[in-house]
Chains A and B, each alone.
Chain A
Amino acid sequence: MIKLENVTKIYPPDVKALYKVNLHIKPGEFVSIVGQSGTGKTTLVKILIGEEKPSQGKIVVGGWDITNIGPAEIPVLRRQIGVVFQDFKLLHRKTLFENVCFALQVCGEPQSKINNIVPQVLKIVGLENKMHRYPLEVSGGEQQRAVIARALVHRPKILLADEPTGNLDSINADEIIEILQKINKFGTTVLLVTHNRDVVNKLRKRVITIENGLIVGDQAVGKYIL
């Protein structure tokens, strides 16, 4: 599903965010990528969504070589990958319902389909009663659930979650991880980037550890070892 071959990312003048990273994530896996702040986790996410280009190496996502992806192809790639961010990145002037709709509207999906799917997805994340509220009118946990709904709405094969619990208390964080696990059970490959030790240890799934841009650990059923 995701394949990285000798991927290196160097920021000018000579900061090595990632160095010769080799990674293979199979369809349906739930993988946690752990590491301390500034070790290259977010750079990895940015490369996977086409926000950054690698300095060297090859990246294949869902059979698509995105190493040298062009600007016109980036929106197409992003419609195939669901992304959840730590700072939610919701449009404040749209309701939660409209935020989720937007991800389908940019793809040109018909309104009838949107009106059918969006309430279902919002129900999965438990927001059916708050869908017409604006992001700033709900809690952080609810905002993050709306982000997950938005990421899921076009049924992506891959879900990237970059520190999704970073701004949440432990109760909300647990709820978000539960939702991610539920999504994974439906067959979606989930890539969870985090430095939350408790979350990773509870999951008991594959853990990849990054340190100073290098992969220093890859355990099939791992723990947060740093």
Chain B
Amino acid sequence: MFLLSILRVIKFSLQDLARNVWLSVITIIIIVLALLSVNLLLIVKVLGLAAIGAVKEKIDISLYLKSDGEESRILALKSRISDLASVKEVAYISQQAAVESFRAKHQDNPEILQALLELGTNPLAPILVIQPKDINNYEDLIVSLNKIEDPLIESRNFADHKTMLAKINDLTDKASRAGLALSLLFGLITALVVYNTVAVAIYTHKREIGIMKLVGASTWFIRAPYLISGIVYAGLGVAAIIIIIYPLLSFFQPYLAVFFYGFKINILEYYNNNFLTIFGLEFLVVTLINFLASLVAVGRYSKV
């Protein structure tokens, strides 16, 4: 009998969706708009954090070495620095590699290339490019690097990076806090919009709910079709947002790639990798809001 009731409840729910097609469409549109806002906010947040993260990745410390340093000693120094706990990676750029890179960078500027030629010797120093493991421990790395006494080191000036890093860290913190506040506010607005839409949809059934009670329907029997409708609305809403968001992402990704040239930012890939988390969570949250709205609204109109 319980199974029969479940099947009837599902049937009534789907029948009601089909016979109130416009109300169903409007409810789904509201859910889609709400989810679109949430996804746009997510995209902005992901892009912002990815951009900041990419900038942080680009921050490294260059240790300029003496031009006449022996290669074996340089490699020994590189190995010593690599062993430091706060170091992620150390790259060695030899004098020759440095000048080749310089030439490549200025290949369109014949005056600079001519000046280099006129010098007769390679004016560039070999460099050790050190990438910190954690940008927040940048200070520790500098302290560690300052402790290394080696006659090969020609200069170690890290002052400029400190100010920039402080600014980036400050920006990251502010962006995270603003993002969190905005997400909470947006989440709340979305929840209220969806809640009220479902409550209004049920309000239009106020009379029917009363009649169902009068002919002996239990509160569960009245409430269940709305709960199922809520799941269907959430499912269709999320399906619609997937259909909308993917073409949008595919369309904007090339522009984003150009805009963030040099950084590894791929929002489409991010959505692909987190598909289940993003849309599963959206489905669960919308279903939960629908569930609450149905529970409250039906309870309010079924006191007959």
User: Residues of A at under 8 Å CB distance from B?
Assistant: 49, 51, 71-72, 74-79, 83, 85, 89-93, 102-103, 105-108, 110-111, 150
CB contact list, B11-25 vs A, under 8 A: 15-16, 19-20
Q: CA–CA, A128 to B52, complex, Å?
A: 74
Given the contacts A93-B20, A106-B221, A83 and B4 also touching, CB distance less than 8 Å: no
- Interchain Cβ contacts under 8 Å between A and B, 13 examples: A51-B214, A71-B219, A74-B213, A75-B216, A78-B216, A83-B214, A85-B214, A91-B208, A102-B212, A102-B215, A103-B215, A106-B212, A106-B218
Distance in Å: Cβ of B170 to nearest Cβ of chain A: 59
Query: Residue on B with the closest CB to A153?
Result: B215
Query: Residue on B with the closest CB to A107?
Result: B216
Q: Which 5 A-B pairs have the closest CB atoms?
A: A78-B216, A79-B216, A106-B217, A108-B1, A75-B218
Q: CA–CA, A24 to B18, complex, Å?
A: 48
Verify if B5 is at the interface (C-beta below 8 Å from A). yes
Verify if B156 is at the interface (C-beta below 8 Å from A). no
Q: How many inter-chain residue pairs (CB < 8 Å) link A and B?
A: 52
Given the contacts A75-B217, A93-B19, A108 and B211 also touching, CB distance less than 8 Å: no
Chain B residue numbers with a CB within 8 Å of A93 are: 15-16, 19-20, 208
Verify if B159 is at the interface (C-beta below 8 Å from A). no
Contacts A106-B215, A108-B4, A150-B215 supplied; 8 other A-B pairs, CB < 8 Å? A49-B214, A76-B216, A78-B215, A89-B214, A90-B211, A91-B211, A93-B16, A102-B215
Q: CA–CA, A90 to B208, complex, Å?
A: 8
CB contact list, B182-229 vs A, under 8 A: 208, 210-219, 221
User: Residues of B at under 8 Å CB distance from A?
Assistant: 1, 4-5, 8, 15-16, 19-20, 208, 210-219, 221, 304
Q: Is the CB of A89 within 8 A of B216?
A: no
Query: Residue on B with the closest CB to A92?
Result: B208
Distance in Å: Cβ of A90 to nearest Cβ of chain B: 7
Chain A residue numbers with a CB within 8 Å of B5 are: 108
Q: CA–CA, A78 to B1, complex, Å?
A: 19
Q: CA–CA, A49 to B304, complex, Å?
A: 10
Chain A residue numbers with a CB within 8 Å of B221 are: 106
- Residue in B15, B20, B208 whose Cβ sees the most chain A Cβ within 10 Å: B208
Query: Residue on B with the closest CB to A71?
Result: B219
Distance in Å: Cβ of B148 to nearest Cβ of chain A: 79
Chain B residue numbers with a CB within 8 Å of A108 are: 1, 4-5
Chain B residue numbers with a CB within 8 Å of A102 are: 212, 215, 217
Chain A residue numbers with a CB within 8 Å of B214 are: 49, 51, 78, 83, 85, 89
Distance in Å: Cβ of B13 to nearest Cβ of chain A: 12
- Residue in B15, B16, B210, B218 whose Cβ sees the most chain A Cβ within 10 Å: B218
- Residue in B19, B208, B210, B216 whose Cβ sees the most chain A Cβ within 10 Å: B216
Q: CA–CA, A89 to B212, complex, Å?
A: 9
Distance in Å: Cβ of A200 to nearest Cβ of chain B: 25
Distance in Å: Cβ of A147 to nearest Cβ of chain B: 10
Distance in Å: Cβ of A102 to nearest Cβ of chain B: 6
Q: CA–CA, A105 to B4, complex, Å?
A: 9
Distance in Å: Cβ of A224 to nearest Cβ of chain B: 27
Chain B residue numbers with a CB within 8 Å of A91 are: 208, 211-212
Distance in Å: Cβ of B209 to nearest Cβ of chain A: 10
Q: CA–CA, A90 to B214, complex, Å?
A: 11
Q: Is the CB of B217 within 8 A of A110?
A: no
Chain B residue numbers with a CB within 8 Å of A103 are: 215-216
Distance in Å: Cβ of B215 to nearest Cβ of chain A: 5
Chain A residue numbers with a CB within 8 Å of B8 are: 105
Distance in Å: Cβ of B257 to nearest Cβ of chain A: 51
Q: CA–CA, A106 to B249, complex, Å?
A: 48
Chain A residue numbers with a CB within 8 Å of B218 are: 72, 75, 106
Query: Residue on B with the closest CB to A90?
Result: B211
Query: Residue on A with the closest CB to B1?
Result: A108
Given the contacts A91-B208, A93-B208, A106 and B16 also touching, CB distance less than 8 Å: no
Q: CA–CA, A66 to B221, complex, Å?
A: 22
Chain A residue numbers with a CB within 8 Å of B219 are: 71
Chain A residue numbers with a CB within 8 Å of B213 are: 74-75, 78
Chain B residue numbers with a CB within 8 Å of A75 are: 213, 216-218
Distance in Å: Cβ of B99 to nearest Cβ of chain A: 82
Q: CA–CA, A110 to B1, complex, Å?
A: 8
